[in-house]
């Protein structure tokens, strides 16, 4: 998006996909782009998290207080009495406090949902000075003498470290590396600083800059690591840092002049986040999520060993609080729900039961309820929004609680289409549990998400963060929720340059889990590898291999200059495979662009399976809801199980969607996955959506043969007509366009039926087939050239053989 002065692409999934229309939903909360055309790839986890419980601790220089963030406010904990007093009262979310050396001021981040700024708060009078450029600001740090404030800003075109003189306002850039630089920590003698540098997607560095020597060098390097954060000792040249250990973060210390010698301080699993030294250097404070994703303030010795909780005996809010019970109903019965609650000034109210999430599309914080939940709220009115999946309308109510000390609020959630009653089951075939977010979760923790989204089947996938393969302990596990919704683990094989593969329902772990040229990922396996090996290894498994988040933009990937948007091995694998899935709907890619890729394979008679997966992250803070992209499978009266929902999906008895329900039939009620005779045939579309949809269309062999205006939000409409079907190929329906809002979390509403085949499954129309083959052959030539450019003279026999086999298959009979 173009607005202001810096282009920021906020990413929650680490891929090589570039900024695009589909991703606008994740950038538009911070819509800053500059005239220099710089792209700043900013992972969503670089932003602060809104938590229930203390995070971002900072000990005062006199040891009497600990500042921290909790529930979007800055608090001061008296270390002697154990009483925490709320310091800030902003409608925005405040976080990451840092003390001035004399203890008279605190600097912190203020996030209003569309922009971040730095606030310098004077403790004696409560005065606030704000640093707010037209770009994002993060992570303040006072200079040793207190005259300057260091902070991260995008004002120069990339997210670098700047400093501003607090009296004159003069500002100067300190670092100029490509990527993102943040988490500045000054050595207390003022001789240098330590900071974190995210170098593109390939690595994350902890760097030490010496002001006296004029040097700036990395002292620790790793791959993707959201919580690599450090703090400097109050008197020595020592730092404490949270280092990634597979699924965990553990505290270590090192001397900035001898960084190769790392001392592990917390050898046991504690998921240590946001570490900071005590004022005397004898202890280290950090935050840690508990089993219910509530944050605790913890402490350990500077020399490591045991870990203990820092007790907060009482919280002084400065106002009377009250408990409100929110009950959600659907069809007159209690229902689980996704909830968003704000106070009268718009500040988000959090749950003390489970994780807190942020919807970057709408700027809304949300959490889940099983149908009844108690929350602590301030006086005055609160606004509550409730949904239960894509097929419900958002119920938004503002309730003035008056003088009541306790209250019960009941919201009825209206369902616009009852999938179960209509014989359908829903599935999200691509999301993750732990992906380096602020929470640590297990499969059972995901059950409230399935119930709150009314999602029948969920398929979280193991995934690698470069050198770390996450969630291996859960491989193959299946759990069932209170509402009989089903979760089964699979795996994402991130061969990256070759295309990401989802092993949906495949229980056995596949290795290696990544490979490719040394352009982005560190080398795990040799270069002579192919995605075809994954397909061969899983051929006997009872799951489905799917190409995920394939086409990033709303474009025809086969047009001139666009072939590079197609995953490197998708075409060859689709041509050579009997069964292969393609993720048509995904939060990170474009549905219309991906549909064009899908159409070419259908046009050569390959029944590529229409799949949908949100690619969200249960343990992340900034993430779309699971089920924001989903398949609806026609169960034909059968009770949903994991196996039969996946089987129906593989047969194409389904539609994919991020908002509308799209029921398409031809002739005598022939549904997707079925076969219809050629010739003039009647058709019918029943379209229902909680959100307005601009267009509805009938597609034959990739061409739109009928189009009409769509529907208003909450409307159901039936369309009908006649279509002249050729002697081969397929027919389908789609609906798309309009503004996205709750319950959806994507860039625009979209739904597409699986194809109904003409005369037989896999039939083709000669003209459409010839054109598709020509396009696919061009794509194979492009893939071969891209691989040659990336690999050079390295041996890539397996990849090349797959390309040649696909070319021969397509060329046969031409």
| pLDDT exceeds 70 at position 814 | no
| pLDDT exceeds 50 at position 220 | yes
pLDDT-derived band at 622, boundaries 50, 70, 90: very high
- Which of the pair, 13 or 726, is modelled with greater confidence? 726
* Pairing, β 160-165 against β 337-343: unpaired
Per-residue pLDDT, 194: 98
| pLDDT exceeds 60 at position 765 | yes
pTM, two decimal places: 0.94
Per-residue pLDDT, 405: 63
Q: For 308-312, what is the mean pLDDT?
A: 97
pLDDT-derived band at 15, boundaries 50, 70, 90: very low
The three-class DSSP label of residue 802 is helix
Q: How far apart are CA 714 and CA 169, in angstroms?
A: 52
| pLDDT exceeds 80 at position 523 | no
Per-residue pLDDT, 28: 33
pLDDT-derived band at 41, boundaries 50, 70, 90: low
Q: For 458-473, what is the mean pLDDT?
A: 91
pLDDT-derived band at 29, boundaries 50, 70, 90: very low
Q: How far apart are CA 139 and CA 181, in angstroms?
A: 10
- Which phi and psi (to 5°) does residue 26 adopt? -90, -15
Q: For 214-238, what is the mean pLDDT?
A: 95
Q: Is the separation of the CB atoms in 735 and 762 below 8 Å?
A: no
Q: For 227-244, what is the mean pLDDT?
A: 96
Q: Is the separation of the CB atoms in 266 and 255 below 8 Å?
A: no
Q: What is the pLDDT of residues 651-686, one digit of tens each?
A: 999 999 999 999 999 998 999 999 999 999 999 999
The percentage of the chain sitting over the pLDDT mark of 70, rounded to a whole number, equals: 94
| pLDDT exceeds 80 at position 106 | yes
Q: Is the separation of the CB atoms in 343 and 322 below 8 Å?
A: no
10 Å CB burial of residue 63 (0-12, 13-18, 19+) is middle
Of 701, 741, 745, 750, nearest to 723 by C-alpha is 701
Q: Is the separation of the CB atoms in 69 and 75 below 8 Å?
A: yes
Q: Is the separation of the CB atoms in 68 and 54 below 8 Å?
A: yes
10 Å CB burial of residue 381 (0-12, 13-18, 19+) is middle
Asked which of 197-206, 303-312, 759-768 is least confident by mean pLDDT, the reply is: 197-206
* Pairing, β 730-736 against β 750-753: antiparallel
CA atoms within 13 A on the CB side of 413: 33
Per-residue pLDDT, 540: 78
Per-residue pLDDT, 169: 96
| pLDDT exceeds 80 at position 415 | yes
Q: What is the pLDDT of residues 420-431, one digit of tens each?
A: 999 999 999 999
Per-residue pLDDT, 666: 98
Per-residue pLDDT, 414: 97
Q: How far apart are CA 200 and CA 177, in angstroms?
A: 10
* Averaged pLDDT of the chain: 92
Per-residue pLDDT, 211: 96
DSSP string for 331-370: TTEE--EEEEEEETTSPBP--SSS--EEETTTTEEEEEES
Helix (H) or strand (E) holding 195: strand 192-199
Q: How far apart are CA 181 and CA 162, in angstroms?
A: 10
Per-residue pLDDT, 434: 94
CB crowding 2-13: b at 16 or more within 10 Å, else e: eebbbbbbbbbb
pLDDT-derived band at 799, boundaries 50, 70, 90: very high
Q: How far apart are CA 459 and CA 699, in angstroms?
A: 30
Query: Tokens 């005259």 — which residue?
Result: 147
Of 480, 472, 537, nearest to 503 by C-alpha is 537
What's the sign of the alpha-carbon dihedral 408, 413, 414, 418?
Answer: negative
pLDDT-derived band at 286, boundaries 50, 70, 90: very high
| Cross-strand pairs, 301 | 283
Per-residue pLDDT, 755: 98
Return the DSSP state at 446: G
Q: What is the pLDDT of residues 124-174, one digit of tens each?
A: 999 999 999 999 999 999 999 999 999 999 998 889 999 999 999 999 999
Q: What is the pLDDT of residues 48-83, one digit of tens each?
A: 999 999 999 999 999 999 999 999 999 999 999 999
Asked which of 15-24, 743-752, 754-763, 780-789 is least confident by mean pLDDT, the reply is: 15-24
Per-residue pLDDT, 517: 87
Q: Is the separation of the CB atoms in 109 and 96 below 8 Å?
A: yes
Asked which of 53-62, 520-529, 564-573, 776-785 is least confident by mean pLDDT, the reply is: 520-529
Return the DSSP state at 45: G
Q: Is the separation of the CB atoms in 606 and 579 below 8 Å?
A: no
Distance of CA 555 to the CA centre of its chain: 23
Per-residue pLDDT, 339: 98
* Pairing, β 424-431 against β 630-634: antiparallel
Per-residue pLDDT, 363: 92
Rounded to the nearest 5 degrees, what angle is found at the Cα of 281, between the Cα atoms of 278 and 285?
Answer: 35
Q: What is the pLDDT of residues 378-398, one digit of tens each?
A: 989 999 999 999 999 999 999
Q: How far apart are CA 94 and CA 68, in angstroms?
A: 10
Two tokens, residue 287: 């935050």
């Amino acid at each position: 998006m173009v607005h202001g002065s810096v282009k920021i692409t906020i990413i929650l999934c680490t891929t090589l996909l570039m900024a695009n229309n589909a991703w606008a939903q994740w950038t538009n909360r911070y819509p800053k782009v500059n005239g220099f055309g710089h792209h700043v790839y900013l992972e969503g986890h670089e932003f602060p998290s809104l938590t229930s419980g203390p995070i971002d601790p900072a000990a005062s220089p006199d040891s009497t207080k600990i500042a921290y963030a909790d529930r979007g406010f800055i608090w001061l904990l008296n270390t002697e009495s154990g009483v925490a007093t709320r310091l800030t009262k902003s409608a925005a979310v405040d976080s990451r406090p840092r003390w001035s050396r004399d203890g008279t001021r605190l600097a912190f981040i203020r996030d209003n949902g569309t922009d971040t700024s730095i606030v310098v708060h004077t403790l004696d009078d409560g005065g606030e000075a704000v640093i707010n450029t037209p770009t994002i600001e993060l992570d303040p740090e006072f200079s040793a003498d207190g005259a300057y404030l260091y902070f991260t800003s995008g004002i120069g075109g990339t997210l670098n470290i700047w400093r501003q003189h607090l009296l004159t306002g003069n500002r100067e850039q300190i670092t100029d590396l490509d990527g993102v630089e943040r988490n500045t920590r000054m050595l207390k003698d003022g001789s240098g600083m330590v900071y974190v540098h995210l170098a593109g997607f390939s690595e994350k560095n902890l760097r030490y800059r010496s002001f006296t020597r004029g040097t700036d060098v990395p002292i620790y390097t790793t791959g993707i690591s959201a919580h690599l954060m450090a703090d400097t000792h109050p008197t020595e040249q020592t730092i404490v840092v949270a280092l990634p250990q597979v699924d965990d973060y553990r505290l270590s210390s090192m001397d900035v002049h001898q960084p190769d010698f790392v001392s592990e301080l917390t050898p046991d699993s504690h998921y240590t986040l946001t570490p900071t030294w005590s004022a005397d250097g004898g202890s280290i404070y950090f935050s840690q999520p508990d089993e219910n994703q509530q944050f605790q303030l913890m402490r350990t010795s500077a020399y490591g060993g045991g870990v203990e909780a820092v007790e907060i005996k009482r919280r002084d809010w400065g106002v009377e609080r009250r408990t409100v019970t929110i009950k959600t109903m659907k069809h007159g019965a209690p229902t689980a729900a996704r909830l968003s609650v704000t106070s009268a000034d718009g500040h988000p109210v959090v749950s003390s039961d489970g994780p807190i999430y942020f919807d970057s599309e709408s700027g809304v914080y949300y959490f889940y309820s099983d149908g009844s939940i108690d929350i602590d709220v301030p006086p005055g009115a609160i606004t509550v929004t409730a949904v239960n999946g894509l097929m419900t309308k958002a119920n938004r109510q503002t309730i003035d609680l008056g003088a009541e000390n306790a209250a019960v609020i009941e919201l009825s959630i209206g369902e616009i289409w009852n999938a179960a009653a209509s014989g359908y089951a829903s599935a999200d075939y691509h999301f993750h549990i732990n992906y380096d977010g602020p929470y640590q979760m297990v499969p059972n923790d995901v059950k409230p998400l399935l119930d709150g989204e009314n999602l029948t089947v969920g398929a979280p996938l193991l995934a690698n963060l470069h050198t770390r393969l996450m969630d291996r302990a859960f491989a193959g596990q299946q759990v069932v929720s209170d509402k009989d919704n089903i979760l089964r683990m699979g795996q994402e094989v991130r061969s990256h340059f070759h295309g990401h593969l989802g092993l949906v329902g495949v229980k056995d772990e596949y290795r290696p889990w990544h490979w490719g040229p040394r352009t982005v990922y560190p080398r795990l396996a040799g270069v002579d590898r192919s995605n075809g090996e994954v397909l061969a290894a899983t051929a006997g498994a009872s799951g489905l291999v799917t190409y995920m988040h394939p086409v990033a933009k709303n474009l025809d990937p086969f047009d001139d200059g666009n072939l590079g948007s197609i995953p490197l091995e998708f075409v060859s694998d689709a041509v050579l495979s009997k069964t292969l899935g393609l993720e048509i709907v995904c939060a990170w890619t474009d549905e219309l662009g991906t549909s064009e890729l899908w159409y070419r394979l259908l046009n050569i008679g390959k029944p590529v399976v229409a799949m949908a997966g949100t690619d969200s992250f249960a343990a992340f803070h900034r993430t779309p809801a699971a089920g924001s992209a989903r398949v609806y499978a026609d169960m034909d009266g059968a009770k949903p199980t994991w196996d039969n929902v996946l089987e129906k999906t593989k047969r194409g008895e389904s539609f994919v969607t991020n908002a509308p329900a799209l029921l398409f039939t031809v002739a005598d009620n022939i549904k997707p996955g079925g076969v219809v005779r050629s010739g003039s045939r009647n058709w019918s579309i029943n379209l229902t959506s909680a959100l307005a949809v601009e267009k509805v269309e009938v597609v034959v062999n990739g061409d739109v043969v009928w189009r009409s205006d769509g529907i208003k939000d909450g409307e159901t409409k039936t369309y009908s007509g006649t279509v002249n079907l050729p002697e081969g190929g397929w027919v389908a329906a789609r609906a798309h366009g309009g503004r996205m809002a709750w319950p959806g979390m994507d860039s625009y509403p979209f739904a597409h039926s699986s194809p109904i085949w003409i005369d037989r499954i896999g039939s083709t129309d000669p003209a459409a087939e010839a054109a598709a083959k020509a396009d696919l052959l061009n794509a194979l030539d492009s893939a071969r050239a891209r691989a040659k450019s990336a690999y050079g003279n390295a041996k890539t026999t397996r990849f090349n053989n797959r390309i040649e086999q696909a070319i021969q298959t397509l060329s046969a009979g031409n």
